[in-house]
Structure 1
Amino acid sequence: MVLISQRIFLETIKKYCLAHDIAIEIRSGGWLLIMTRGNERRLAIGYDIGLNSAVAHQVANDKSACADVLASAGVPALPHTLVLGAKLSKHIPGSDSLDAIQLLLDRHPLGLVVKPNAGTSGELVFRVTTRAQLETAVARILAAHPSLAISPYVEIEDEVRVVLLDGRALIVYGKTRPSVVGDGVHSLRALARAATTEDQFKIITTEHDVAALDAIPPLGERRLLNWRHNLDAGAEPVLLADGAAREACVALAIRAAQAVGIRFASIDVVRADGAWKILEVNAGVKMEALGRRHPELVEAAYGSALDCLFG
């Protein structure tokens, strides 16, 4: 397991501070950073270096609120419906109604995606197609989080992350989901076990039923192992070349950042049914997976943000 102190984010900031005569205090196991240069004192927590306003940060970290803000600004985005847990539902009567949630499921035959309203890293994200699955997902999430968000499931053809600073794209990369190619002999389970880490394999086994895992893919047939483009679940970052797709994603990400009023963010753009839409806006810019492949790009991106932070 990678220790917090070994995060690429932390190591990059330490390197920047050393090069710019900035004193740095590392607290909370590396989760909180206190940076000081002369009379200037700056804080970074998690993956947020402190460039964004409190409101922009909170809106970006609230999936349903962010979707509402984007819709209000006319920015194409996947809708997210808020569902509150027992402690909060009294403030919005009916917001915890399973019957109301069932109506969403009835309107979307491909199913729903249920996830924490303020979660990250793809934890506790479920695709549901039945009421029983829906109730289980809601119960599991609300046992750990005060609220959740529900969006219609769509077949995502491509997912692209745009790292923006003050309306300028610093890095643009796609997320390639893990896959295997059938050999006509081994089951999907065996192929997946050989091609993934133990943690990734555990995630994959929850994404497929037993029959699908035990089936033997035909020789030469490629099978995706995950319906999510999540880097922590095994997807690989691939830099996006110049072209129409890159231009479209950057333009849409800039519109989303302007709508939220956020300066430094990583914005996920997805292509579904041939159209690009915003999936999420992330105030914490996490580039651990990309940093293992392109450390110079990640260092330059964080460096640009820190240049702005220290003027």
Structure 2
Amino acid sequence: MAGSERIFLQAIRRYCAGHGIAVEIRSGGWLIAMRRGATCRFAFGYDIGLNSAIAHRLANDKSAAGEALSLAQVPCVPHHLFLNPSLGVHVAGTAWHDAMLALLAQNPQGVVVKPNEGTSGRAVFKVTNRNELDRAMTEVFSSSLGLVIAPYVEIEDEVRVILLEGRPMIVYRKERPSVTGDGVHTLHELATAAGHGRQLRELEARETKNVLAKGERRILNWRHNLDAGAEPVLMDDGEVRAACVKLAADAASAIGITFASIDVVRVDGAWRVLEINSGVMMEALAKLHPELVHATYDAALDRVFGED
């Protein structure tokens, strides 16, 4: 088995080997056929095949998911949809740019621009002025049919809840990279020594030259994405975990999704849903807790093949 093979694929191979299920890999590992007798089930990308088509589409569409959650009165971060103008005025309309500028004006703290579909924090931009908005818009529209604009909010905490049929399988915080000052070294020196040098590109150059006061903690990235350097930290039982699970379960119920990872954030002391992901990706978590990841995929595959 190749060391670079995705944990998702490794988990499927291992499960199928133990249950007499033949596995056939196509499309460079992104399409997986699982056969047992006359039964054939497919996994695609990180979607294991438990979710309905409409639930999958709602989850993968940030704007539609937000609308569905609002209809169900589930607290969420709003995502305003803008279609690529290359689709034509009959689809994208003519006032889309003015509407973008209006949203920016309504949110003086800034907005976040990102593809309407997609994960891992790619092509996600924090925007505070028109020039930044136009650059972000151009970048996202170069590879996406639609983008969403959400108000920038100071996220105090972000938690991912992985649910299977409403049951929390894994709950973890996304802990962003940070350094603590010693009153001697600059932010650049502290981050480099801690192995967070690549995070400095998120900051202005003059800021990295500042000496941090002793005991001062500085978070290096405004994004909580695991691909952006955040670390998954499992949560213990308690009120906070219970609140996150309850909110995630309400969100899953609102769109009728069976197996999903749901990101919830705390803003001004209140929890709300940020995103729902139909494809359950646990590559970063598997480096720390492989047994937990395999157990979760095993439980999902039991449902796929009708096991108890």
Using the size of structure 1 for normalisation, the TM-score is: 0.94
1:38 corresponds to which residue? 37
CA contact (8 A) 2:172 2:235 kept: yes
Between stretches 186-195 and 244-253, larger displacement belongs to 186-195
4+ residue runs of structure 1 moved beyond 4 angstroms? none
1:64 corresponds to which residue? 63
Question: Could you tell me how far apart the structure 2 residues matched to 1:142 and 1:184 are?
Answer: 44
Question: Could you tell me how far apart the structure 2 residues matched to 1:193 and 1:119 are?
Answer: 30
User: Which string of whole-angstrom CA distances, capped at 9 and with x for unpartnered residues, describes residues 15-69 of structure 1?
Assistant: 1010101000112221111100011101111110111111111110110111011
Question: Could you tell me how far apart the structure 2 residues matched to 1:263 and 1:310 are?
Answer: 15
Deviation at 1:96, TM superposition (A): 6.1
2:163 corresponds to which residue? 164
Q: Aligned match of 1:250 in 228, 245, 254?
A: 245
Change (3 A) 1:4 1:104: farther
Q: Which runs of 5+ in 2 are unaligned?
A: none
Question: Could you tell me how far apart the structure 1 residues matched to 2:157 and 2:148 are?
Answer: 22
1:15 corresponds to which residue? 14
Question: Could you tell me how far apart the structure 2 residues matched to 1:78 and 1:89 are?
Answer: 28
Q: Which runs of 5+ in 1 are unaligned?
A: none
CA contact (8 A) 2:82 2:92 kept: no
Structure 2 residue matching 1:160: 3-state secondary structure: strand
1:176 lines up with 2:170 in the alignment: no
1:280 corresponds to which residue? 275
Structure 2 residue matching 1:173: 3-state secondary structure: strand
2:73 corresponds to which residue? 74
Change (3 A) 1:188 1:110: same
Question: Could you tell me how far apart the structure 1 residues matched to 2:279 and 2:26 are?
Answer: 18
2:86 corresponds to which residue? 87
Deviation at 1:75, TM superposition (A): 0.6
Deviation at 1:296, TM superposition (A): 1.1
Q: Aligned match of 1:266 in 261, 275, 284?
A: 261
Question: Could you tell me how far apart the structure 2 residues matched to 1:89 and 1:275 are?
Answer: 40
User: Which string of whole-angstrom CA distances, capped at 9 and with x for unpartnered residues, describes residues 247-288 of structure 1?
Assistant: 111111111001111100000011001110000000000011
What percent of counterpart residues are identical? 57
CA contact (8 A) 1:4 1:31 kept: no
Coordinate RMSD, CA, aligned: 1.6
Deviation at 1:89, TM superposition (A): 5.2
Aligned residues: 305
Paired residue type of 1:33: I
2:141 corresponds to which residue? 142
Using the size of structure 2 for normalisation, the TM-score is: 0.95
Structure 1 residue matching 2:86: 3-state secondary structure: coil
